[in-house]
Amino acid sequence: MLARPDAERVLQEEFGLPCYRCPVSFVETVAEGARLYRLDPQALVDRLNQCPLAEAAG
């Protein structure tokens, strides 16, 4: 989420997933979470990869 700050909004608003607040997110992959909610893991990852990267500090 730090690399792609917009991912939080995408997960919540577009997919209805509260991953950024879920304690399981520390041990579960995005794909595993998607399958748990019966979502297409590849579609979810593809959408997250469309989120812009955070600007590098420095």
57 in any annotated domain: no
55 in any annotated domain: no
Confidence class for position 57, pLDDT limits 50, 70, 90? very low
The neighbour count for residue 17, using CB atoms within 10 Å, is: 21
* pLDDT greater than 60 at residue 58: no
56 in any annotated domain: no
58 in any annotated domain: no
24 in any annotated domain: yes
What pLDDT, on the 0 to 100 scale, is given for residue 56?
Answer: 58
26 in any annotated domain: yes
DSSP 19: G
Choose among 47, 55, 58: nearest CA to 3: 55
**Count of the separate structural domains present in the chain:** 1
Query: Do the Cβ atoms of 1 and 54 come closer than 8 Å?
Result: no
Q: Which domain covers residue 28, as residue numbers?
A: 7-49
Copy the structure tokens of residue 30.
């995005």
Please state whether the predicted TM-score (pTM) of the whole model is above 0.85.
no
